[in-house]
Structure 1
Amino acid sequence: MGLLLGTALAASALGVGTITTAGAGQADTAPSVSAGLHRGHVAPAAAPAFGDDPDGDGYIPAVPPVTGVTPSDAEPPTAYFHEFQANCSVTHTAPDDPIVYPGQRGASHDHTFMGNRSTNATSVTASLYGGATACLAPGDSSAYWMPSLYKGDKKILPIGPQVIYYKSGVTDYRSVRPFPKGLRYVVGSPTQSAAEFRAHKGWVDGWECGNTSGLPDFPQNCPAGTQLNLRMQAPSCWDGRNLDTPDHKAHMSYPVVKPGGNMDVCPPSHPVALPMIEFKMAFPADGDMSQVRLASGRGYSFHYDFFNAWHEPTLAALVNHCVVGGLQCNARGYDETKPHRGAALTADYRLP
């Protein structure tokens, strides 16, 4: 528990509170790999009626739906960057998953939660929205989570604010609009093979540390003082109709290449361009990595979840100023290379 204590103290120093684990007196040990492969993001045969999905059919409709959108294939002004950061710290860990196992405490493999401090198996849009958060922007009450990482029997938690990018996934960055309230999805799968992880459309460089990168599984060794890093991108095209679907993926799509061209556009089935989330996680693990594993299995079982609970005006300000505006912004919507463009938020990360 020394690592957890040190992490908690570091988090406290950063003003994000203490990291907790589920269950008083619960042993902080890793579940077996085989158990992780059968628990997590494998949907139960029949989802129970709960919260945002009162009929239990797995579909959560957007009210109102977004219709009449044609994917943009217009050529925008040249802008190398069109992004902002949501810097969010770890808040707690628990064997919960409010997307895949809503209302079922302890039904999942262990997850590491960031952002909203209250996220648990019973979380719904109303309970998350406006809640306390460990993100720098108080308006970001969204829930972000991923399988917990272990080295031997010790849980390794990212320390301090992690980088969660909000980017344009399509060429015409001007067409990107904010997430609808309550949108949720899963990126990747705990049951994917190493080849499937490598071929995943959200793959970015794989696992890396030191000068080693491009690995679908954990490196054998990381130089002393380095961290274990991973980036993974989410789909950014939405069907405009559903906030969730039974597999937690079908309502979202990755952009496609326009036939006969080199532009990334949303497909007609998913015409609404939303921000592309990119996790950039840094785990404080080095040395011999032979005992490193995820709660879901090997390194290629990495996946993550997003449940949108942003304050709508705050998210809109950041998306419009930074993504649509073609800037490379920090968490307050400020591009240091273009100070004349100003910032979307104040110094305390709130709307002006």
Structure 2
Amino acid sequence: MKWLSLLPLAGLAHAGLRFGCSTVSLQRLDPLVEPGQIPSAHVHQIVGGNAFNASMEGDIGEKGTCTTCAYTEDFSNYWTATMYFRHENGSYKRVPQYPNAQLGTEGQDAPDINAGMTIYYTQKDFYDNGEDYITAFQPGFRMTVGSPTIDTLEQAQAQPGLRYTCLQTILTRGYETPDFPKEPCPAGIMAIYHFPACWDGKNLDSPDHQSHMYSTTKGAFQEAGPCPASHPVRVPQLAYETMWNTAVFKDMWPKDGSQPFVWSYNDDKGYGTHADYVFGWQGDSLQRAMNSSCFFHACGSPGVQGILKTQTVEEMNKCSVQNTVEEDTEGWLMELPGQKMAMRFTA
């Protein structure tokens, strides 16, 4: 089916969305790369709608009953690998997450967002959205960015949308690296994922989940380059931020000074960081937002009436998915779930 006919002839978009989503599931499932496989190869942390399962097809925006995202019309699913700390004795423990401090809570005594991540749908850059018309993703759309098979620094550097920030404070922004920070970070590590924003206008997916998209992303919320003729449709610039509280392991840093963090697919360099997305906004809600003039909190947030409907943090945190895979992912583990270690560190 061709979607180019959906492009309007007039009207400019100026909106930008930034919102938090609580964790909806943490388990070994990957309905994009390994559909139907239970369990998948490695552990993922997932946010969004509760329709998430091993084999997601069709319009998931119509299949969920709740969402962990701030906007109640967003039943999309967003996920990344999970980060673990590797102890000198060879055991592993999952690194806890914490929410973006700038999203906050509804009050001093209100609950905080349950881990999860921060989601962005921008159009030009972090501060301005320019004058291009932005076409929202369509039901059934899905894509990935990055790959766990990337294992060299050169390959990682070639993907400017995938980066890390060593957080000096919870509000640190700016300096980014293509690999894990090599020193302890006082406030943890922020993993950043910018997806491509140029679509071929025809395919909702592709065999590699990437070829239907084209990246002109420059990273760091800079303005992306123009879309090529092969992928002419500008869609929202989707980005994730996940805050990993690596600071809780500061007293266990290896005596030899080596970097102790590892992704759940056994990547201790960080080169293979990757993320997945399945569109699930209900009706025309995302297009309606993109066509509006709102920006960030003004688009709708608890206590702020906006173009989109919101829910409380307590309501976000109540939504969850029952685990399909029954295995230990918490506590001290002798190996990463699904990963047989070729190398062990002994005390």
TM range (shorter): 0.5 to 0.7
Q: Identity across aligned pairs (percent)?
A: 26
1:281 shift after superposition: 1.2
Gap regions ≥5 residues in structure 1: 1-62
Amino acid at match of 2:280: A
Q: Residues 111-140 of structure 1: CA distance to partner in whole angstroms, max 9, x if unpaired?
A: 111112341212223455341211011111
Number of equivalent positions: 267
Asked if residue 219 in structure 1 is aligned to residue 177 in structure 2, the reply is no
Gap regions ≥5 residues in structure 2: 87-91, 99-112, 313-347
Tell me the TM-score normalized by structure 1.
Answer: 0.66
- In the alignment, which residue of structure 2 is the partner of 1:66? 4
- In the alignment, which residue of structure 1 is the partner of 2:147? 189
Superposition CA RMSD, Å: 3.3
8 Å Cα contact 2:43/2:82 also seen in 1: yes
Q: 2 CA distance for matches of 1:145 and 1:86?
A: 15
From 56, 69, 76, the counterpart of 1:142: 76
Deviates more, 1:150-159 or 1:91-100: 150-159
Tell me, what secondary structure is at the counterpart of 1:315? helix
8 Å Cα contact 1:92/1:113 also seen in 2: yes
Asked if residue 207 in structure 1 is aligned to residue 147 in structure 2, the reply is no
Amino acid at match of 2:77: A
Bigger RCO of structures 1 and 2 (CA < 8 A, at least 6 apart): 2
Tell me, what secondary structure is at the counterpart of 2:284? helix
Q: 2 CA distance for matches of 1:331 and 1:104?
A: 41
Tell me, what secondary structure is at the counterpart of 1:175? coil
Q: 2 CA distance for matches of 1:97 and 1:169?
A: 30
Asked if residue 162 in structure 1 is aligned to residue 121 in structure 2, the reply is no
- In the alignment, which residue of structure 2 is the partner of 1:294? 263
Counting only pairs closer than 5 Å after superposition, residues 105-116 of structure 1 correspond to structure 2 as 105-116=38-49
Check 1:271–1:172 CA distance in 2 against 1; reply closer, same or farther (3 A cut): farther
Check 1:280–1:263 CA distance in 2 against 1; reply closer, same or farther (3 A cut): closer
1:263 shift after superposition: 8.2
- In the alignment, which residue of structure 1 is the partner of 2:322? none
Check 1:209–1:272 CA distance in 2 against 1; reply closer, same or farther (3 A cut): same
Q: 1 CA distance for matches of 2:279 and 2:16?
A: 17
Amino acid at match of 1:167: T
8 Å Cα contact 1:332/1:344 also seen in 2: yes
- In the alignment, which residue of structure 2 is the partner of 1:328? 295
- In the alignment, which residue of structure 2 is the partner of 1:243? 204
Whose helix fraction is larger, Structure 1's or Structure 2's?
A: 1
Amino acid at match of 1:125: G
Q: 1 CA distance for matches of 2:308 and 2:36?
A: 35
Tell me, what secondary structure is at the counterpart of 1:174? coil
